[in-house]
């Protein structure tokens, strides 16, 4: 590669309590054939030897920079990395993941320059809990018959997951304002959909870049669920404003099934602030958009790659017409719950207008309130 005043790619890594895998992560970067790199690590206070590993590595490789995270949250850490990077392109790597093919970043950079795009993607795999590498379908079906790579227009695919699998022109990112949501969950789509819409088109090279390491499943606290739902609503509104209707449908289905069970669980245990947010969201559900997508569903290549549950949408028949309703609300209305801690058909009184209440004061029926919010009664 020709010499330049700034690195060709900045690899931004967020690190916290990752001593078990950090050396493998860093090694996978140093083994890349593209050497004109900057390694931007954003460190959060850890209980293990993560920081010392970074310092030891920095002594051997001056390309590595260490920044302390000054705001809480993984989204804030990534934004810190964007701010402090200087590469022509930027990309992201979690401290417990690693790169697969040594030629990946070089091929992606060359692909971006050759095809004059602001974003270039690649392939990814997942390392399962039993140590097996499995292919993620992202891009793969579309690359059959395109051995050198393929150009895509974002509005044709409308992805929202797997932001690690791309390099992004940093000047474009800075000018379009794409940043991660500074929340404790679901922070990455806020950045990704804005970056991809700004780029308009992107190229994908058929090379294995990213290995995502699976961990044990976890559950969110009620407050984290609230922040995640706020981020989902932000993405939903963004999709509607920019006429990304397949993305709109995808986000609805994530709310319905990917995260819906956790939302329901916390509402069942009395976290009505989350229920209030779901009710506000229900008012914004656009039936026309959903009907238009259902009539012409996204290709399975996209649905499979985005890994969102694609079960049926729930409806309610009102005055002879069907209206789509969020699945968590549908389940609560119909009392389709496993636990009997609260009867939600009797658990609503002034909730929409008041944030402080006692369960004993909730006397109106939730279904009636939802219909009122929908302006259908």
Enumerate domains of the chain plus CATH numbers. Answer: 9-213 (3.90.550.10), 244-373 (no CATH)
Which residues, in sequence order, are bridge partners of residue 212?
126
**Whose structure tokens read 């995260």?**
259
Average pLDDT, the chain: 87
Residue of higher predicted confidence among 375 and 162: 162
Residue 16 has pLDDT above 90, yes or no: no
Which stretch of 220-224, 289-293, 332-336 has the lowest confidence by average pLDDT?
A: 332-336
Residue of higher predicted confidence among 15 and 172: 172
> So what's the pLDDT on residue 377?
46
CA–chain centroid gap for 270, Å, is: 27
> So what's the pLDDT on residue 352?
35
Close Cβ partners of 296 (under 8 Å, ≥ 6 residues apart):
none
| Residue 184 pLDDT grade (very low, low, confident, very high; cuts 50, 70, 90) | confident
Beta-carbon neighbour count of residue 322 at 10 Å? 13
Report d(CA 75, CA 2) in Å as an integer: 33
> So what's the pLDDT on residue 215?
79
């Amino acid at each position: 590669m020709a010499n330049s005043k700034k690195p060709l790619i900045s690899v931004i890594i967020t690190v916290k309590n990752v001593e078990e895998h950090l050396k493998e992560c860093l090694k996978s970067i140093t083994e890349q054939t593209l050497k004109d790199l900057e390694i931007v690590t954003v460190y959060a206070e850890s209980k293990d030897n993560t920081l010392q590993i970074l310092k030891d590595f920095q002594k051997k490789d001056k390309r590595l920079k260490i920044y302390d995270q000054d705001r809480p949250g993984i989204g804030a850490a990534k934004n810190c990395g964007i701010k402090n990077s200087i590469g022509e392109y930027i990309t992201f790597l979690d401290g417990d993941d690693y790169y697969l093919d040594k030629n990946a970043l070089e091929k992606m950079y060359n692909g971006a320059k050759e095809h004059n795009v602001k974003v270039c993607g690649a392939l990814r795999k997942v390392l399962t809990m039993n140590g097996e590498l499995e292919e993620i379908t992202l891009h793969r079906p579309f690359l059959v018959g395109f051995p050198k790579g393929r150009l895509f227009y974002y509005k044709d695919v409308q992805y929202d997951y797997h932001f690690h699998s791309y390099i992004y022109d940093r000047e474009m990112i800075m000018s379009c304002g794409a940043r991660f949501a500074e929340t404790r969950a679901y922070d990455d789509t806020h950045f990704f959909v804005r970056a991809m819409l700004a780029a308009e088109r992107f190229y994908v090279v058929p090379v294995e870049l990213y290995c995502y390491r699976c961990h044990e499943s976890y559950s969110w606290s009620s407050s984290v669920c609230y922040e995640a739902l706020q981020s989902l609503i932000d993405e939903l509104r963004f999709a509607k404003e920019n006429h990304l209707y397949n993305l709109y449908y995808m986000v609805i289905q994530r709310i319905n099934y990917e995260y819906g069970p956790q939302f329901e669980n916390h509402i069942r245990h009395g976290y009505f602030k989350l229920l209030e947010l779901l009710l506000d969201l229900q008012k914004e559900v656009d039936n026309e958009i959903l009907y238009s997508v259902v009539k012409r569903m996204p290709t399975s290549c996209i649905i499979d790659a985005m890994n969102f549950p694609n079960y049926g949408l729930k409806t309610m028949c009102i005055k002879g017409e069907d209206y789509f309703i969020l699945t968590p609300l549908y389940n609560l209305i119909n009392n389709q719950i496993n636990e009997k801690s609260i009867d939600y058909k009797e658990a609503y009184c002034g909730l929409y207008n008041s944030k402080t209440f006692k369960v004993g004061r909730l006397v109106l029926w939730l279904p009636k309130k939802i219909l009122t919010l929908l302006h259908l009664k």
